[in-house]
Structure formats: structure tokens, C-alpha cells
Amino acid sequence: MDRFLYLAMNGAKNALHAQQTNANNLANASTVGFKSQLDHFQSEAVYGPGFATRAYASDNNSAVDFQNGPVMTSGRELDVSINGDGWFAVQADDGSQAYTRRGDFHTDPTGLLLNGSNQIVLGEGGPITIPDFESLVIGRDGTISIRAKGQAANTLVAVDRLKMVKPEQNSLERGSDGLFRTRDGVDAPLDATVTITNGALEASNVNTVDAMVKMMEYARFYETQVKLMSVAEENDASSSRLMKLSG
């Protein structure tokens, strides 16, 4: 009886966990550059006194779907999307270097370049600051050039270059802030092979239809496990009554 109840309880717990992950993906379906999260469950034995005759499912490390999202044309001079593999380097809240595919940039009143999550965008020498400008161009290699106010139309001055990196995907892990970092904590170097497209954004790679279907599936699976726990309770009560009658 305990096996029956334990399996049902474990199934309900993991269905709830999967539903939370799926709900987070669905909530970020419109977040620029978002990578959906995947649950990776595995069976592990329950060790203790006696033989390990019980098993449970665990979700030690959630995986990430690194597939690129669709590219949308925006026409904004500060919108950029990475071509193929690669990441933008940004400064996390704790001051560390982290990575994201989010390329919806803007400047604050001081000229500091930020992305749509208000994270500081890093260049070759650190945070990028852009002076007042009449026009701005970001080249394929990430070089930011501006025409300062009052200058001739053909006068462009390079301000900085976006720091774009391309670490191995299996060396990255997502933090609680949604940013990616290297597992060993070493900052990835600038990779000159990474290129961008100006005036475009990479959308989230979340498949909303698939996420909605999963939401219904997880809800039904959770209900099934709860019903099984009720059946286990009823069976236990019936067994107790039979034991009393036989006594």
C-alpha cells in the first residue's frame, strides 16, 4: 500500500513542478530572446534501512532549449539580433558578467546602454555609454558608430563595440535572474565570429500552442495522481475494516 501511495504522491509533486516550469515559459512567450526551460526527470532509489525497494523521480537540473527564436524586423536603430550562435554580455545586478540573447537596447538619461530588462550592456572595455547623437549605426560586428549633433551627415565616429561571446552551450547555466553564466565562473572572451542584424529582434522560442497543450496535460495528470491517493486511502480503510472483522 505504501508503494501505491508513494508513487501517486511523487507523481503529483512532479506534475506540479512541471506545471510551474511550463507556466514560466508561457509567461515569457513575448520576452525578447527568452530560452524556454525543459524539465529533465530521472529515477533515483530511496536509500535507508533495508533494501532500496522504493524509487522516486527527481529534477536535479532543468535543461534549456537553446533553439533560436524567430527573428522579427523592428526597424529601430538600437534593436539587434544575433545571427546563429552567440550571446550579448551584460552586467548582472551583483556586478558579474552574464549573457543573454535580448537585444532590445535603449539608453538612460546618462547615455548608458541598457537592454529591455534594464541590464547594463557591456562593450570591449566595460559598460557602454553613448553620447548625444543625431543618428546611430550598429555594424554586423557589433561596432556602435554615431553622428554627433551638429556634425556632417557623412561623419561617423565609433563609440564602442558590443561584447559578443560564443561559449559552448553545455558550459552555460541559467541563473535565478534569467541570465546565463559559465559553470566555472570564468568570463567568456569576445568572439569576433559572432555577427548581428540591425533593426531586428529575436523573439522567444516558446511554442505557445505546445505550452497550452502541456498545461492541460499536466493538470489532468495531477488530478489523476490525487485520485489515486484517494483510492489508496480507501483501500487502506477497507483493509483495516477487514482486519477488525477477522480479529
Which DSSP string corresponds to 82-123?
EESS-EEEEE-TTS-EEEE---B-EE-TT-BEE-TT-PEEEE
Together in a domain, 20 and 78: no
pLDDT-above-90 percentage for the chain: 62
Determine the Cα–Cα distance for residues 104 and 115; give it in Å rounded to an integer.
5
Residue-wise pLDDT for 165-177, tens only, equals 999 999 999 998 9
Domain count, the chain: 2
- Does residue 190 carry a pLDDT above 80? yes
Together in a domain, 31 and 77: no
pLDDT band at 88 (very low <50, low <70, confident <90, very high): very high
Together in a domain, 53 and 91: no
Asked whether residue 7 is domain-assigned, the answer is yes
Residue-wise pLDDT for 113-122, tens only, equals 999 999 999 9
Boundaries of domain holding 27:
2-65+206-246
Determine the Cα–Cα distance for residues 24 and 18; give it in Å rounded to an integer.
10
- Does residue 60 carry a pLDDT above 90? no
- Between residues 113 and 48, which one has the greater pLDDT? 113
| Cβ neighbours for 199, distance < 8 A, ≥ 6 positions apart | 73, 74, 75, 76, 77, 79, 80
Radius of gyration (Cα) for the chain, nearest Å? 26
Our measurement of the distance from residue 81's CA atom to the centroid of its chain's CA atoms, rounded to an integer in Å, reads 17
Together in a domain, 109 and 214: no
Asked whether residue 123 is domain-assigned, the answer is yes
Which range, of 78-87, 91-100, 148-157, 215-224, averages the lowest pLDDT? 148-157
Which range, of 50-59, 165-174, 181-190, averages the lowest pLDDT? 50-59
Q: What is the mean pLDDT of residues 134-141?
A: 93
Together in a domain, 107 and 172: yes
Together in a domain, 89 and 168: yes
Q: Residue 39 has what pLDDT?
A: 77
Asked whether residue 135 is domain-assigned, the answer is no
Q: Residue 128 has what pLDDT?
A: 97
- Does residue 183 carry a pLDDT above 80? yes
Together in a domain, 105 and 166: yes
Together in a domain, 210 and 224: yes
- Does residue 211 carry a pLDDT above 70? yes
- Does residue 196 carry a pLDDT above 90? yes
| H or E stretch covering 180 | strand 180-182
Asked whether residue 138 is domain-assigned, the answer is no
- Does residue 59 carry a pLDDT above 90? no
- Does residue 246 carry a pLDDT above 70? no
Together in a domain, 176 and 92: yes
- Does residue 242 carry a pLDDT above 80? no
Q: Residue 5 has what pLDDT?
A: 74
Together in a domain, 7 and 50: yes
Together in a domain, 86 and 166: yes
Together in a domain, 189 and 77: yes
